[in-house]
A and B are shown apart, each in its own frame.
Chain A
Amino acid sequence: MAKNDLKLLGGWFSPFALRVQVALNLKGLDYEVVEQTLSPKSELLLKSNPVHKKIPVLLHADHKPICESLIIVEYIDEVWTNAPSILPQKPYDRANARFWLSYIDDKLLTSTKSILMAEDDEAKKPHLEQIEEVLEKMEEVFNKYSEGKAFFGGDTIGLIDIGFGSFMSWIRVTEDIIGIKVLDEARNPSLAQWAQSFAAHPSVKGLLPETPKLTEFAKLLILQWTASAR
């Protein structure tokens, strides 16, 4: 196999798979996307990620599969050391980038799912507060790290841009479904601007799923969640 033989087991709907695609694009790599469905799961996916059975999975040349979106992104940054770097250079800056991604995955994802499953306004309230708190925090983080430039990573997109930015479509879909705007120019001016910059970035352009299509997908997914939650 060629050294750069790359296959991504991904899905158009998945913000996690999107993270990997953006990273691969940023490094200027050629790769094939093998589009996966949530169910049934393909033999290839089950074989490649037997532990979690989830996308994304990166298949690179003769290596065994690599799983977990952020682990894959760090792997890409370490193997292809050409510019731009995805992670910052200094250990403390790297730690901060990893910390904020951990924060986003911990707080934003749970509250997004919870709010989508909430039956009424009362039930939505605590999750809405959590989402707003996260966005307010990330607005602060952006203002601090970007130093007046377009991205969390400065001039180029970095780990936080990729990890957080890949989630923007799901934020838009959530807003549509719950009928409440959470990320807007009034409350989070920097983030609103940044979200546009991220979407327009050459490594991202065309990859963000369109809101109407993703909304339909989300509605079906919510039904599945609600069904299995008894």
Chain B
Amino acid sequence: MAGESVTLIGFWGSPFVLRVKWALELKGIQYQYVEEDLSNKSAMLLQYNPVYKKVPVLVHEGKPLAESLVILEYIDETWKQNPLLPQDPYEKAKARFWSGFVDEKNTCYRVLFVPLVTHSTFLILRVMATFSKGGEEQQKAAQEARENLKTLEGGIEGKRYFGGEKIGFADIAIGWLGYWVQIVEEIVGINLIDKELMAKLDAWFNDFLEHPVIRESMPPRDKLLNHNTAFHKVLTSSST
């Protein structure tokens, strides 16, 4: 579809932006990338995502889209080459389920009936809790995060990727976590991905992160480590 204008507004350190980048790259879609300074948000960002004022935002022929998983579905429906989601409705549901398991927005689907948000069964919240808390709370959060990672491993079902032989929707939605968890582990000094007990998960993360398209877009490790170390200081100093 030559001549179509596709712009991705992003931030180098955001895994949610990375999801969208990977989808565009895997489908060979030409796009313009605009780096956003999150401490000084542009008028363009505020205009295109007035509800959340966050990245990623995809602009396709002047029409803006926000929320990374919503954007992924749009990309898959608009550009049919190299499909990300499977055709079968049940397999689709499964891919969406695992993607949701690792998505922050899912915190609230269950807020009504879950006593405490930190008891959420969603993986990303438990990793965040490990990252932002201290002492006993942190140990507990780490244990729960490990349980969730083990659960996530079950979703791979012995295949090479969540998507089967090729990288698919769920791989893109989840894969960034392998890289980020390593960084969290280094900053807080707690092991989350147990290479023995979660051998399959570890193998999948490594395989995914080694894929040329994936690897090419990854932010440099040192840069990400420094960025998140600073973030960690902010989080832990602000919690009384």
Contact = CB atoms under 8 A, between A and B. Distances in A.
B is a partner of A:
yes
Interface of A: 14-16, 38, 51-54, 60, 63-64, 66-72, 74-75, 78-79, 91-92, 94-95, 98-99, 102-103, 105-107, 109-110, 112-113, 137, 170, 221, 224-225, 227-229
Number of contact residues on B: which range applies?
20 to 34
- Taking each of B51, B71, B73, B109, which has the highest tally of chain A beta carbons within 10 Å of its own beta carbon? B109
Given A51-B151, A95-B65, A99-B65, A109 B101 contact: no
A91 B74 contact: yes
A82 to B, nearest CB: 14
The B interface, classified by DSSP as helix, strand, loop or mixed, is helix
The 5 A-B pairs at the shortest CB distance, nearest first, are namely A228-B115, A78-B89, A91-B77, A95-B74, A109-B108
Contact of B108 (A91, A98, A110, A224): A110
B97 A75 contact: no
B93 interface: yes
- Taking each of B92, B113, B121, which has the highest tally of chain A beta carbons within 10 Å of its own beta carbon? B113
B110 interface: yes
A229 B65 CA distance: 37
Contacts of B65: 92, 95, 99
Interface in B59-117: 60, 63, 65-67, 70-71, 73-74, 77-78, 89-90, 92-93, 96-97, 100-101, 105, 107-113, 115-116
A203 B68 CA distance: 32
B89 A110 contact: no
Nearest to A70: B109
Contacts of B97: 66-68, 71
Contacts of B101: 51
